A and B are shown apart, each in its own frame.
Chain A
Amino acid sequence: GAVVSQHPSWVICKSGTSVKIECRSLDFQATTMFWYRQFPKQSLMLMATSNEGSKATYEQGVEKDKFLINHASLTLSTLTVTSAHPEDSSFYICSARPGTDNSPLHFGNGTRLTVT
């Protein structure tokens, strides 16, 4: 149980274009999902908390207009990287937890974004 599916697994796009990444909880409902970014050989950095039916909460330094998050249902959150630039190239991973706050996060497979 507690499967999180993320698509696409990798994407290459040109500078200036936008890319949408989907995160789905397959066998549980998630009122909250979390988006992380991971640069090579670095840790997972929390970007934002996605809240079903309301606005996302962004971490300090993360541009909300550049990283648009939509959490329209209890099983789907999307992250759109707008006007992508090469420095946005990274590994983006979503996560969610099925139970109480005092329980582990389950991660999607991640999306490798390369902006050329």
Chain B
Amino acid sequence: GENVEQHPSTLSVQEGDSAVIKCTYSDSASNYFPWYKQELGKRPQLIIDIRSNVGEKKDQRIAVTLNKTAKHFSLHITETQPEDSAVYFCAAPQVYTGNQFYFGTGTSLTVIP
């Protein structure tokens, strides 16, 4: 399936600082890239997504950038808060087999008050 790599696996930041998580994918036909936040024992929740016709999308403190040529996209969280602490997953679809989502390995973000 689609090969999605995510870095870093863990990330600790001071409250108020920014956090950046990066993902790469392998299917050049992929055209939609979501980011999910998962709290312990709960289901993943979509926090932001981007389609391949734009290079950047922002929603308040969260932004996603996409470089289709290089096949990578990144999640940016500014002014981090303790409630941002969670595991974040990127995903990319494998287009030619039906747009199944393959997920990155996850990033455990800890925001230190």
Interface of A toward B, CB cutoff 8 Å: 32, 34, 36, 42-46, 49, 57, 59-60, 93, 95, 101-110, 112
Are A104 and B106 in touch, CB under 8 angstroms? Answer: no
On chain A, the residues within 8 Å of B99 by CB distance are 101-102
CB-CB under 8 A for A46 and B102, given A103-B32, A105-B34: yes
CB-CB under 8 A for A32 and B98, given A44-B89, A46-B1: yes
Taken together as a complex, chains A and B put the C-alpha atoms of A112 and B21 apart, in Å, by 28
Number of A-B pairs whose CB atoms are under 8 Å? 56
Are B89 and A43 in touch, CB under 8 angstroms? Answer: yes
Interface string of B84-113 (1 = CB under 8 A from A): 000001010101011111111110000000
Taken together as a complex, chains A and B put the C-alpha atoms of A44 and B44 apart, in Å, by 9
Smallest Cβ-Cβ distance to B51: which chain A residue: A102
Cβ of B31 < 8 Å from any Cβ of A? yes
On chain B, the residues within 8 Å of A43 by CB distance are 89, 103-106
Closest-CB distance, A32 to chain B (whole angstroms):
7
On chain A, the residues within 8 Å of B42 by CB distance are 109-110
Closest-CB distance, A22 to chain B (whole angstroms):
15
Taken together as a complex, chains A and B put the C-alpha atoms of A17 and B103 apart, in Å, by 30
